[in-house]
Amino acid sequence: MSLANFILPSKKYRQRASVSGLVILSVALACAYIGFNPLGFFTEFHFVQDLLGEMLPPNFDALWSSSSIGFSFLQTVSMAFLGTLYGGLMAIILSFLAAANTMPFRVIRAFARSLLSLLRVIPALGIVLIYVIAVGIGTFAGLLTVVTITVATFGKLFTEMIENAEAPPSEAIYSVGATQVQVIRYSIIPQMLPTFIANLLFSFDLNMRMAVWLGVFGGGGIGFQLYLAMRVLHYKDATAYIFFIIVLVILVEKVSDFLRKKVLKASA
């Protein structure tokens, strides 16, 4: 009997030990390559203390000292809402064009699927930089980015939902001589609409966070104001912005959760 079999008598435990060893070795090599000391998480607290000393207490006067701050919050909410609305409508249209049971023409179906796949592989940072170059820094670039991200996120999901729709209602409508458009209108859309709305309400919650993040990279809104405050070393102003961003995101999350539960309950 070998020593390995004596220590790890089960094949399952030997496999787990091998995987754990590879993970530990990979982490150690990665830390050594970038020159990072994992113990720094537990020993280098003076950086956090210095940062908190510069950012606290928050300067809430900065929130109403300038009318542009409140306007920036409204811009961020508007970007998230309109981006979710327009992006959701485009995702639904493309999903019907990409689904096999709603689009009989293979060329159009292949084009819609390829477009959705292309949008999914482009990172959000790359998308916002492209729009900033195309239309300039501001909320319009942020809005276009949120629309594109929403289409990329939900286009494929909606396509799979449509293809997995229940077949008997569609077959029943077909049997009385209905056209493809009538089948979509009276069979597939009623099945999918509550789920579409629930997913888009969830997307609004995500896009609210995305709109703030995009502003840091030129998408406008409160994210851009936060970037400017950090750029000129007004850390206490930035802390006040972050506090109200958290409050705003929580409110949007609660509202979207409430509406989503109402929609799903009504559909059930």
* 3-state secondary structure at position 24: helix
Which distant-in-sequence residues (6+ apart) come within 8 Å of 128 by Cβ? Answer: 141, 142, 145, 214, 217, 218, 219
Do 44 and 216 touch, CB atoms closer than 8 A? no
How many other β-carbons are positioned within 10 Å of the β-carbon of residue 217?
Answer: 18
Do 139 and 224 touch, CB atoms closer than 8 A? no
Which distant-in-sequence residues (6+ apart) come within 8 Å of 199 by Cβ? Answer: 154, 157, 158
* 3-state secondary structure at position 136: coil
Q: How far apart are the first and last CA of the chain?
A: 62
Q: Mind listing the pLDDT tens digit for each residue in 199-229? A: 888 888 888 888 887 777 777 777 778 777 7
Distance of CA 67 to the CA centre of its chain: 29
Task: State the pLDDT at residue 1.
Answer: 47
DSSP symbols for 177-207: T--HHHHIIIIIHHHHHHHHHHHHHHHHHHH
How many other β-carbons are positioned within 10 Å of the β-carbon of residue 102?
Answer: 21
Task: State the pLDDT at residue 63.
Answer: 67
Which distant-in-sequence residues (6+ apart) come within 8 Å of 176 by Cβ? Answer: none
Measure the CA angle with vertex 258, ends 256 and 262; round to 5°: 115
Low-confidence ranges of the chain (pLDDT < 50): 1
Distance CA 68, CA 226 (A): 12
Task: State the pLDDT at residue 222.
Answer: 78
Residue 147: what residue type? V
Task: State the pLDDT at residue 43.
Answer: 65
Distance CA 84, CA 78 (A): 10
Task: State the pLDDT at residue 55.
Answer: 65
Phi, psi of 138 (to 5 degrees): 150, -175
CA dihedral 143, 144, 150, 153 (to 10 degrees): -140
